[in-house]
Structure 1
């Protein structure tokens, strides 16, 4: 079976999640480009005519349901109009969301309004390549060598904006929508595909299911759900909601189909990534990122611990940011790799200070990602413009989204896998300084302890 040229369009609810999805597709040999806003047909035809998968990096993880209706819904319509059979709304692999922020149930409602011929939406959270598993509807994620149920997860159960205190994803989503959501459990997933398909059809027909969550524990489960999603999509263009498990599911199925290999770009070439000076900016509160920062500082990086409140407060932000930009420029000019960070872990005093400041000006904690990210974006943009810096890392999902939007970049393409879900990418820009800039966007819970030093050092890897 031959694959057609255009396979999938996806929207990521933050930028780190978007590069995660792009990585899964690229590692499978599919030509994928991630755009910072929906691409026009003219841009695709002129510069990206051969791509098979189109990504759109977004910020909906910090949106209210009202903002989703006005800002996200038009983008989802534009994504559908790109013409790929499958359209994916990509969420974090730890499914962090709430009724008021990043509401996934609201997205379920919107995509069924947009795609009126679609009866139900598949929902996939499990992604075994990222050590994310869904069993009897409960979601699990690994930290180090231990796997936690989501409500006991040391990072996500204490997330500063959307703490995940419910591991049962059906219950979690029931707080976000009145639409009925059911489960294809692990026993169903262990059936032969024809039996699985029959069970799904009966469930949807009899129960009027609007969203169907699939348990995923193994690669075999991924392949089955990938086949199910794809066969429904090529019959009737459709949406799917989930983590990058969606990409892993589809690619496992596509790669199992006879004769599709010539449709792929070469995926066995070696690409050498040289050692390169790097600027890291981190708005992440994760203990994983904290350990990565400490490791980098112990291995030659220079650290600048900044005050989020001073960066956000209109009374201090201008002078404080200017001073910070001067300090970073001087360090980069000296040839040093630099880490600018706002917190070291979830107990950092800056988190409470930021929350109290936002409350004092009538803003929600969810606004911190945008306010801090935009300032970090200005810092990165100015540093790149005024130095010879060629490699950037941004840590923290919300920080990455808003910081990247402040730069003169319109698209990203993966050039190297550093850690699952957090690849190094090259940028596309109409401005020479930013065209070809190397950038890695890392979610708080991703990467090994030496992640930042790996980005700095480079080596030979397969892409």
Structure 2
């Protein structure tokens, strides 16, 4: 067994988690599964009975088919604090009934949040009521994802250049939660009254006695955050040691990005308590595939332009027509017709609403929506709902077995439309965005191979890697 019995004897589930956005949730699942912890990501909180009955389809974590970790793909990154008050407590209550060693409130490694939208501080306060812990570890750095926390400030590396987060070409321009402060203590301090203490590089690199003294001093006050610097894998290993040794008796609350899972797994593997399985075999090439992109990020835009140059059918979805009630159905039919023509010729299809943040269609769509007085529903939700309908129809009429969705809202609506209730890791493609296997009640969608990509993830040839089924 890859997971030593001493880990699961006391708690049958090693870790449960809630991801504050859909695509980022697969990142945690991948980190656990590829390190030997059998994991499934559910769309709704599972009951203990559902967890016990669930069986994995793949063996990327080793031969064990029963679960040792479970997660829920969430939406809290897009919610206001009052909306969180309605949405999160029932989910936290359900997850608190799972007998796990840890509960992780998973956030984006670029700390997407503000006091008004996606407040990490407010969500943590709600979670602490269900997962009371003497201290709240906060780990955001993830070296494998090119995310680094240095003296409390967050950095991200893009195309060979490293940016402080408030100068990051994407995050500083984020349309909802632009990052104008790189010091996470200051940024989080605007969202919570809880003090945010820092275990910096000097403390992490000190000898064991000095490190322990610093840790004791930093966690004197119950309920405070403890932010960990993380620049390299050695720091990650030190944090993993601290998380494991200082865990609560049950459901230690953790807050942070997927570096949290890498820290724990690295430490447990070093201690011989967890065996890392061999790299999974490629599921092989699959053609044609369908890409359904709702992300407006520059990374996804460049990936789409690149793959269209490689021969993918170029199918632009006109958002300004989708938001008009009288034009919506005709636009959906037009798009489906174009896609089916290409798929009928075995040509892969790239479908999208925009090519990057400067695409004129974004302003045109928002302007038309405003003119029509459709202010109750976000534009992204209106578009994503239609994209889910389109993809479902295409899959029902073809034998396509592998698809990609790009963007959190798009992925959420696609999963809902296809009746997917859980995902598991099939193959790593790029850090944080694996190819997954779907669990669905309808036979056509059960076993579908699907990648749900965050806007900023992956290299320029990411979609080509999905076709090949290999990194």
Same fold (TM over 0.5): yes
2:309 corresponds to 1:298: yes
Contact residue 426 and residue 437 of structure 2 kept, 8 A? yes
SS at match of 1:205: coil
The residue number in structure 1 matching 2:97 is 81
* Change in CA separation of 1:357 and 1:64 when aligned onto 2, cut-off 3 Å: farther
The residue number in structure 1 matching 2:202 is 187
Contact residue 79 and residue 117 of structure 2 kept, 8 A? yes
2:334 corresponds to 1:318: no
CA distance in 2: counterparts of 1:34 and 1:134, whole angstroms: 27
2:112 corresponds to 1:62: no
Kindly state the Cα deviation for residue 211 of structure 1 after the two structures are TM-superposed. Answer: 1.6
The residue number in structure 1 matching 2:7 is 3
Contact residue 62 and residue 398 of structure 1 kept, 8 A? no
Contact residue 318 and residue 331 of structure 2 kept, 8 A? no
Contact residue 123 and residue 212 of structure 1 kept, 8 A? yes
Q: Trace 1:420-459 onto structure 2 (pairs within 5 A).
A: 420-459=431-470
2:164 corresponds to 1:149: yes
Q: Trace 1:103-182 onto structure 2 (pairs within 5 A).
A: 103-116=119-132, 118-182=133-197
Contact residue 320 and residue 366 of structure 2 kept, 8 A? no
The residue number in structure 1 matching 2:364 is 353
Deviation sequence 1:76-111 (CA, Å, 0-9, x none): 221221111101111111111111111111112112
Contact residue 203 and residue 209 of structure 1 kept, 8 A? no
What is the RMSD of the two structures over their aligned residues, measured on CA atoms?
A: 2.0
Deviation sequence 1:303-336 (CA, Å, 0-9, x none): 1112223222323222222322232223222211
Contact residue 375 and residue 403 of structure 1 kept, 8 A? no
Q: How many residues align structurally?
A: 454
For structure 1, which runs of at least 5 residues remain unmatched after alignment?
A: none
CA distance in 2: counterparts of 1:317 and 1:197, whole angstroms: 61
Could you tell me which of 194, 205, 209 is aligned with 2:220? Answer: 205
Contact residue 284 and residue 396 of structure 1 kept, 8 A? yes
Contact residue 59 and residue 402 of structure 1 kept, 8 A? no
Contact residue 127 and residue 245 of structure 1 kept, 8 A? yes
* Change in CA separation of 1:357 and 1:123 when aligned onto 2, cut-off 3 Å: farther
Kindly state the Cα deviation for residue 456 of structure 1 after the two structures are TM-superposed. Answer: 1.3
The residue number in structure 2 matching 1:244 is 258
Could you tell me which of 98, 101, 110 is aligned with 2:117? Answer: 101
For structure 2, which runs of at least 5 residues remain unmatched after alignment?
A: 56-64
The residue number in structure 1 matching 2:62 is none
Kindly state the Cα deviation for residue 151 of structure 1 after the two structures are TM-superposed. Answer: 0.8
Kindly state the Cα deviation for residue 362 of structure 1 after the two structures are TM-superposed. Answer: 6.1
Contact residue 289 and residue 403 of structure 2 kept, 8 A? yes
* Change in CA separation of 1:328 and 1:358 when aligned onto 2, cut-off 3 Å: same
